[in-house]
Structure 1
Amino acid sequence: MPHSSPLTLNYTDLTRWRLRTEDGRQTWHYLNEAEAEKWPQTAADKYWLDLKLNSPTLPKPRTPLDAARNGLKFYQQLQCEDGHFAGAYGGPHFLTPGYVITMYISKQTIPEPMRVEMIRYLLTTANKDDGGWGIHVAGESTVFGTTLNYVACRLLGVNRDHPAMVLARGTLHKLGSATAVPAWGKFWLSALGVYEYEGMNPVPPELWLLPYALPFHPGRWWIHTRMVYLPMSFIYAQRLKADDTPLLEQLREELYTQSYDSIDWPKQCNNVAAAEVFYPHTKLLDGLNTICWMYEKCSPRRLRKWAVDEAWTQLQMEDKNTSYGNLASVNKPLNMLCTYFKLGNECEEFKQHREHTLDYIWMSESGMHFNGTDGSQVWDTAFFCQAVCEVGLANEPSCQDTIKRALEFLDTQQIRTDPENHTRCYRDLTKGAWPFSRRAQGYTVSDCTAEAMKAVLSMQDLPYTNKNVTPDRFRDAVDVMLRMQNKDGGFATYELTRGPTLLEKINPAEVFGDIMLEYSYPECTTAVLLSLKAFRKRQPNYRSDAIDTAFKHGLRYIKKAQRPDGSWFGSWAICFIYATWFGIEGLSAVGETYENSGTVRKACEFLVSKQQADGGWGEDYKSCETGVFHHHAQSQVVQTAWAILALLAAQYPDKNLIARGIKLIMSRQQPDGRWNQEGIEGVFNRNALIAYPNYKFIFPIWALGRWESEVGPGVIA
C-alpha cells in the first residue's frame, strides 16, 4: 500500500536525481550519496531540475544567426546520451491521479522519493487562491481536477487536516462536491470504491461484439478514445473495485457534502458541474445511455462474459503491441489495473506494466508528475534537426557530433514491423513509420513520420553523416503516409477517419471536444506534403503518380480548411498562429507566396493583424476552447517564432515588420544562450493544455536562422 502517514515536509535532494536514457526510454532515478558520487549529474539533469548549470556567458550576438548559434550552444548541452532531446510532457491535471489510484488499488508501494515529490508537484500546482486544481495547470479550479488531485494527495499520504487539504476540500464542496465530477472522474472514483457504479453512465463492453460494419463500432473511434473506453468497459462490466480500507472510508466522508449512504446514485449519472461541461450531452447520447441502463438490468450473463472476454483479448493485444508501454497516459494505468483485476499483482504481465509506468514519470523543479505520453522524443528531435540543417548550423564543426547522435537516434526509432493481429485489434500497418515518442510504443503518427523523415533526409545529405536509413526504408515511410490520406484530401493523426461525423454526437466525456473521430488537420497535412516533396527530390520515380495525387488533394484540403479571416485552426498547439504557420508552409512548398497567392496573402494579413506592440506574437489557450483568437497578455517567443517562420516562407515583403519579431526573440535570450519558459505551448482535444518545453529552443533557433538565410546577414538596427 502507498504510505499513509502525515505529510512529510522533507522533500528530496534534487542533486541526487538522475535521468537515464536508453533507446529513447527516459526514466528518473533517485540515488543514495555514494551512488550519486559515481554517477554525476549531466547538464540535462540539472536543467530540468532547475539547478545551477554554470553555463558560460556567451558573446553578445550581433546578428540573428549569432543569436541562433548561441541558442544552439546552450541547447546542445541538453542532448541525452542516446541522441534524443528529453523533456517534460505534462500539464493536464487528470494524469497523475490515474497512476496514484491504480497503484493504490493494486496494493503497490510508491517509492518514498517519488511519493514525496508527487505530493510536492500536486501542492505546488494547486490554485494559489482556492487550493483546487483545474483540468490543466493554467485552468481555474474544477470539480474534475480538484476531486482527482485531492484523492491523489490523500492516497499519497497527505493528512486530511493538512491546510492544503482543508482548503481544497472546501473548494470542492463549494463547486458541488464529487457527485458533480465528470464521467472520467466518476469512473476512477468508482474503481477506487469511493463512488458507486450506479452513479455513472454505462460503459458496456458488448460494443466490441458488434459487427465492424456498423458506423459506431469502437474500432471506428479515434484511437485514444477507444483505448480509454476499452479498459473502462472491462472494469465497469464487472463492477471491479478496490478492497476497502480505513482511508477509503474517510474519503467517502470527505468528498461529499452529505452522508455517503444518503446519496441517490442514479441521479448523479448526468450530474456534472455546469462550468466545466465543454461538450454537453446530446439527446442522442442521453437516449443511448437510457437504453444501456435498461440493458444493464437484464444483460444475459453469457453475453456479458463473452464481451468481457473480448475486451480482455483486445487489452492483451494492446499490451503486447506496445511492449506494455501502451498508447498514452490514460490507458496506461487503466490497462495495468485491468491486468491486476484479471491476473493479480504477482504475474509477469503486471510486473511489466508497473515497470513501464516509470516511462511516463517525469521529475522537475516542481516535483514529479505523470507525462501525457512516454515522451515526445522523436517529435522534438526531428524538429531540432530540421531547424539546424535548414539554417546551415549543422555544417559547423561544433554541431556535427550533435547531428550524428541525433541521426543515430532517429535511425533506431523507425518502426520496422507491423502490429501482430493488426486487423483483429483494429490497427493499421506500421512498418516504415516513426512514432511520437519511441519505437517501442509502436503507433504510427502521420506528422511524426513526416517530420522524422524530413529530418533524416536532411541529415543524410550532410557529407559527414552515416547513410544507414536506406532508400527502401524511406519508401516504407512514404507507403505509410500515402495510406493515411482521407477522402477530403487531408491527413489525420494515427489512422484514416473511420466513422461518420454523427459519432461526435455520442461523445460521453463532457470535458473534451472532438474525441470520437479521427479528423484531418492542416498541421498533419502540411507535414506529410513537405516530407513527400523532400522524398521526391531523392527518389523521383517512386510512386510519382500517387504522390502527385496526394499533393493535389492535400493542397485542396489546406485551402478549403482556411477560415474566412485567413487563419487555420490548430489542434495540437496554441492555436491559430501554429496552424497558420503550417498552412503557409504547405502552400509555399508549391510556390505560392504573398505576391502570387490570395490564400497566402490573406494568411499573412491575419498574422500581421495579431502582432503585438513589442513586435512579438502571443496567443492564449482560450483560442483553442472558443475557436476565436485570444491574445496572450504577453508576447511569446515560441509563437513569435512560428509567425516569423510563416511570414518568411510566404516571402512577406515588409521585412521591417518581421525584424521587429526577430528583435523580440533576441531580446528575450539569456546571456548563456537559453530562452526562459513562458506560456504553455500545446493542446489536445480543445480543452487540455500540454507542455512542449523544447519548443522555446527549437523554434527561435529556426526563425533566427531562417531570417539570415532569407534576408541575408547583417545587424538588425
Structure 2
Amino acid sequence: MTEELLQRTAAPAEALAAAREHLLSLQHEQGWWKGELETNVTMDAEDLLLRRFLGILTKTETEQAARWIRSRQRADGTWAQFHGGPGDLSTTVEAYVALKLAGDDVDSEHMAAARAWILERGGIEATRVFTRIWLALFGEWSWDDLPAMPPELVLLPPWVPLNLADWGCWARQTIVPLTVVCTLRPRRDLGVGLAELHSGRRRRRKVPRLSCAGAFQVLDRALHSYQRRPLKGLREHAMRRAAEWIVARQEADGSWGGIQPPWVYSLLALHLLGYPLGHPVLRQGLAGLERFLVREETPEGTVRRLEACQSPVWDTVLSMQALRDAGLAADHPALRRAADFVLAEEIRVKGDWSVRRPDLAPGGWAFEFDNDGYPDIDDTAEVVLALNGVDHERPGAVRAAIDRGVRWMSGMQSADGGWGAFDADNTRELVNELPFCDFGAVIDPPSADVTAHVVEALCVLGRGEGEAVRRGVRWLLDHQEPDGSWFGRWGANHVYGTGAAVPALVRAGMRRDHLALRRAVRWLEVHQNEDGGWGEDLRSYDDPVWVGRGTSTASQTAWALLALLAVDLHDTDAVRRGVGFLAETQRPDGTWDEPQFTGTGFPGDFYINYHLYRLVFPVTALGRYEQARRGQSGGSG
C-alpha cells in the first residue's frame, strides 16, 4: 500500500475517533445531549419588548441582549435571518427598536445605517404582520391596520374550515393567544418613539376581487366591522374559552409547546385577560424563559440571547445513532443512560393530534425537555431507531416503548401516504390565504424528510413489508423533484431531503440501480463542491438558482455521504472527496466549524443553526464509511 493510500484510509478513521470522543464528552450526566439552537435576533428583540410591556425589563437584561444584537449586525446595517443571508426588513426593524430601547443613539453610525436601509425598503409599513403587532402594542402602529382575528375562532368545530385543527400545531398555539391580544388591542408606553422608521407609504396589496385572496380581503373587512360591534355573549364566551385553551396547554417547564412564539403571546394574552404576574401560570411561564437563555462572556461584556426552542430529545437520539455507527458497543453505559432519558420522555397522553386520529393510542416523543402535548413524528421515528440499537438492562421496557412508538407513528400516516411532522392530514391550504398569515408555514403537510425517516424506521424494525411502508415509498417516488433530488422541509434543503430519502428507499428494498436512486446520486455528484464538500444556501427556498449550491458545511456534506453510502458507493471519487473534506476541515478538538444555518423552521422565513449538527452527522457518515470500507453492513439498526 502506497503512503498516499495509507494516509487516505487513516485520516477518516482518525477523524472519526476524535469526533466520537468529543461527542461522548458532551453527554450530560443525566444521559442527554443538547446543542444550542441558534436563530436570529428577533427572539432577543421580542424578549425585551415582552418584558417592557409587562413592566419587568431590567437594565442588565437590556444591556446584555443589546450587545448580542449589535454583534449580529451586518456591514450594510441590516440583520439577516441566517448567517450569510441577505438583510431582512422585519428582523432589522425589530433589532433597531431593541437597540433604541437600550439607549443607542439614533445618529450613531450603526443605527443610521439600519434606518436608511429600513426606509429604502418601505419602512415599518412594509414589515410582516407579526412585527406590526409588536409595534401596535406600543402605539407605533394602528390596530385598525392589522388583519382581524376574532377569538371566536376557538369555538369552530373540526368540520368547519379555518378551525384550529386546520392549523399546524405551532400555528394554532400561536393564533389562539393572538386572537385575544388583537381583540383587546392594548397600548403601552415603549419609552422611545419610532417616527423615523415610518416611510409614509402604505402598501396595500391589490388582488382580483373574484380571487380567493380577494374574498379574504372582504372577509377581513367584515371581521373588522364585527370587532367593533361583536355579539357580547358570544365574545365573552370565546374569550373565556380561549383562556382555558391556553392555560390547559402550558407545559411543565412553563412554556407553550416549548417554542418562543406561542410562549410569549400566551403570556401577553393571559396578562391582558387579568392574570397578575404573580399568578402561578404567569410566574411559571416567565421563570421558564430563564432556562432558554444563553449567556456568554465577551471582551465587550456579557451577552445574552434566547433560544427559540431546545432540542434535547432530537439531539440525544441522533447522538445515540451516530455513536452506534461509529462502533460504540450496544451495551455501552453512555447509550444505556441515554436510553433511560429517552424512555422517560415518552408521551403517553393524547393531544391535539387526536382530533384527526381519535382512536389512535398515544406513544410518541417530542423535540423538547417538557412538551407533553405535542409529540412529533420525526422525533418518534429517530427515537425508535435509536432505542433499537441499544442493549438495555430492561429489554422488555424498551421493546414496549418501541412498539407504542411504531403504532402511533404508523397511525399518523396521512391519506396520501406521506407523513407530516405533528399532525395527520393537516393539508387544508385555505388558512394560507388569510391576510394574517404572511410569515411562516401555518399548515403541516407531509414532507419528504419526515416520510423518509418513518419509512426507514419501519423497515429497520421489520415492518418493511407492510402497507404503510409501501404507501410511504410510493409517496417518496411521486415527490422526487425533476432534477432527481428531494425537497427538504426541516433541513437545508435538497441536500437534506435527498440525504434522507435515498437511505430510506434502500432500506425499503429498492434496487440500488433503480432509476430514482441513480438520478439522486447523479444530482449529488453534480452538486459536489470543488473542495469535496456539499453545501446549500437557505436562499434555495426562495430562489432556485441556489438549489444545491452554497458553502460546504460538515452537516450537509454528511447528509450527501449518507445517501451515497446507502447505495454502496463507498469507493467512488465523490465519496472519497467528501470524506476527505470532513477529515481535512476537522478542528483539533474533534468537531467542525459551522456558522452556517442548516436547519429549517419555516421555509423562506425562519432558520436554525443546530450546533450539534456539525458533529453528530459527520460522526454518522464517517462511521458508515468505515463500516462500508471494511465490508461491514451499514446503519445503526
TM-score by length of 1: 0.80
Unaligned runs of 5+ in 1: 1-58, 259-266, 273-279, 537-543
2:114 pairs with 1:175? no
Instruction: Check whether the contact 1:414–1:439 (CA below 8 A) recurs between aligned residues.
Output: no
One of 126, 129, 147 as aligned partner of 2:76: 129
Q: Equivalences for 1:146-161 in 2 at 5 Å?
A: 146-160=92-106
Mapped to 2, the partners of 1:428 and 1:201 lie a distance apart of 37
2:425 pairs with 1:478? no
2:454 pairs with 1:528? yes
Mapped to 1, the partners of 2:501 and 2:297 lie a distance apart of 36
Provide the residue aligned with 2:307 in structure 1. Answer: 371
The Cα of 1:394 is off from its aligned counterpart by 3.7
When the two chains are superposed, the root-mean-square deviation of aligned CA atoms in Å is: 3.0
Provide the residue aligned with 2:493 in structure 1. Answer: 575
Q: Secondary structure at the match of 1:448?
A: helix
Instruction: Check whether the contact 1:237–1:308 (CA below 8 A) recurs between aligned residues.
Output: no
Mapped to 2, the partners of 1:323 and 1:425 lie a distance apart of 27
Say which is worse superposed, 79-88 or 227-236, in terms of deviation.
79-88
Q: Secondary structure at the match of 2:535?
A: strand
Distance 1:442 1:657, change over 3 A: same
AA at the equivalent of 1:351: R
Q: Equivalences for 1:658-673 in 2 at 5 Å?
A: 658-673=575-590
Provide the residue aligned with 2:3 in structure 1. Answer: none
Instruction: Check whether the contact 1:413–1:438 (CA below 8 A) recurs between aligned residues.
Output: yes
Provide the residue aligned with 1:684 in structure 2. Answer: 601
Mapped to 2, the partners of 1:137 and 1:618 lie a distance apart of 13
Mapped to 2, the partners of 1:570 and 1:422 lie a distance apart of 23
Mapped to 2, the partners of 1:631 and 1:598 lie a distance apart of 20
Distance 1:255 1:115, change over 3 A: same
Instruction: Check whether the contact 2:356–2:425 (CA below 8 A) recurs between aligned residues.
Output: no
Q: Secondary structure at the match of 1:563?
A: coil
Instruction: Check whether the contact 2:32–2:338 (CA below 8 A) recurs between aligned residues.
Output: yes
Q: Equivalences for 1:386-465 in 2 at 5 Å?
A: 386-394=321-329, 400-419=332-351, 431-440=362-371, 442-460=373-391
Mapped to 2, the partners of 1:210 and 1:457 lie a distance apart of 42
Say which is worse superposed, 426-435 or 344-353, in terms of deviation.
426-435
Mapped to 2, the partners of 1:117 and 1:61 lie a distance apart of 47
TM-score by length of 2: 0.89
Distance 1:174 1:427, change over 3 A: farther
Mapped to 2, the partners of 1:636 and 1:673 lie a distance apart of 15
Q: Deviations over 1:330-369 (max 9, x none)?
A: 1111111112222121212110110111232223577322
The Cα of 1:270 is off from its aligned counterpart by 3.9
2:169 pairs with 1:218? no
Distance 1:429 1:111, change over 3 A: farther
Unaligned runs of 5+ in 2: 1-6, 633-637
Instruction: Check whether the contact 1:525–1:554 (CA below 8 A) recurs between aligned residues.
Output: yes
Mapped to 2, the partners of 1:497 and 1:649 lie a distance apart of 30
AA at the equivalent of 2:308: G
Q: Deviations over 1:409-459 (max 9, x none)?
A: 22222223334x986899997832111122445421101011011111102
Provide the residue aligned with 1:303 in structure 2. Answer: 234
Provide the residue aligned with 1:605 in structure 2. Answer: 522
Distance 1:643 1:137, change over 3 A: closer
Provide the residue aligned with 2:483 in structure 1. Answer: 565
Provide the residue aligned with 1:509 in structure 2. Answer: 437
Distance 1:92 1:468, change over 3 A: farther
The Cα of 1:179 is off from its aligned counterpart by 2.4
Provide the residue aligned with 1:49 in structure 2. Answer: none
Q: Deviations over 1:473-493 (max 9, x none)?
A: 222212210221001100100
AA at the equivalent of 2:76: D
Mapped to 2, the partners of 1:587 and 1:608 lie a distance apart of 19
One of 81, 84, 90 as aligned partner of 1:144: 90
Provide the residue aligned with 2:565 in structure 1. Answer: 648
Provide the residue aligned with 1:251 in structure 2. Answer: 193
One of 177, 201, 218 as aligned partner of 1:231: 177
Say which is worse superposed, 651-660 or 675-684, in terms of deviation.
651-660
2:217 pairs with 1:286? yes
Say which is worse superposed, 674-683 or 283-292, in terms of deviation.
283-292
Distance 1:633 1:568, change over 3 A: closer
Distance 1:574 1:548, change over 3 A: same
The Cα of 1:499 is off from its aligned counterpart by 4.7
The Cα of 1:321 is off from its aligned counterpart by 7.5
Instruction: Check whether the contact 1:329–1:360 (CA below 8 A) recurs between aligned residues.
Output: no
Q: Deviations over 1:207-232 (max 9, x none)?
A: 22233211221221111122211111
Q: Secondary structure at the match of 1:690?
A: strand
Provide the residue aligned with 1:624 in structure 2. Answer: 541
Mapped to 2, the partners of 1:171 and 1:209 lie a distance apart of 43
Provide the residue aligned with 1:540 in structure 2. Answer: none
Q: Secondary structure at the match of 1:689?
A: strand
Distance 1:339 1:501, change over 3 A: closer
Q: Equivalences for 1:283-362 in 2 at 5 Å?
A: 283-319=214-250, 323-342=254-273, 343-362=275-294
Instruction: Check whether the contact 2:349–2:372 (CA below 8 A) recurs between aligned residues.
Output: no
The Cα of 1:516 is off from its aligned counterpart by 3.0
Instruction: Check whether the contact 1:317–1:425 (CA below 8 A) recurs between aligned residues.
Output: no
Mapped to 1, the partners of 2:174 and 2:115 lie a distance apart of 28
Mapped to 2, the partners of 1:566 and 1:316 lie a distance apart of 46
Distance 1:110 1:476, change over 3 A: farther
Q: How many residues align?
A: 616
Instruction: Check whether the contact 1:281–1:510 (CA below 8 A) recurs between aligned residues.
Output: no
Q: Deviations over 1:221-263 (max 9, x none)?
A: 1111222111110011111232x36x1xx324343356xxxxx
The Cα of 1:295 is off from its aligned counterpart by 2.6
Provide the residue aligned with 1:68 in structure 2. Answer: 16
Instruction: Check whether the contact 1:204–1:233 (CA below 8 A) recurs between aligned residues.
Output: yes
Q: Deviations over 1:552-583 (max 9, x none)?
A: 11111111111111110001111101100111
Instruction: Check whether the contact 1:571–1:624 (CA below 8 A) recurs between aligned residues.
Output: no
The Cα of 1:298 is off from its aligned counterpart by 3.1
Mapped to 1, the partners of 2:36 and 2:524 lie a distance apart of 29
Distance 1:406 1:372, change over 3 A: same
Mapped to 1, the partners of 2:246 and 2:457 lie a distance apart of 34
AA at the equivalent of 2:295: M
AA at the equivalent of 1:491: W
One of 164, 179, 187 as aligned partner of 2:133: 187
Instruction: Check whether the contact 1:227–1:327 (CA below 8 A) recurs between aligned residues.
Output: no
Mapped to 2, the partners of 1:468 and 1:358 lie a distance apart of 38
Instruction: Check whether the contact 1:200–1:268 (CA below 8 A) recurs between aligned residues.
Output: no
2:43 pairs with 1:115? no
Instruction: Check whether the contact 2:41–2:72 (CA below 8 A) recurs between aligned residues.
Output: no
Distance 1:499 1:698, change over 3 A: closer
Q: Secondary structure at the match of 2:239?
A: helix
Provide the residue aligned with 2:4 in structure 1. Answer: none
Instruction: Check whether the contact 2:330–2:391 (CA below 8 A) recurs between aligned residues.
Output: no
Q: Deviations over 1:304-327 (max 9, x none)?
A: 222222221211122257754434
Mapped to 2, the partners of 1:422 and 1:148 lie a distance apart of 34
Aligned-pair identity in percent equals 24
AA at the equivalent of 1:362: V
Say which is worse superposed, 614-623 or 203-212, in terms of deviation.
203-212
AA at the equivalent of 1:361: L
Distance 1:115 1:408, change over 3 A: farther
Mapped to 2, the partners of 1:509 and 1:269 lie a distance apart of 16
Mapped to 2, the partners of 1:665 and 1:615 lie a distance apart of 9
Instruction: Check whether the contact 1:615–1:664 (CA below 8 A) recurs between aligned residues.
Output: yes
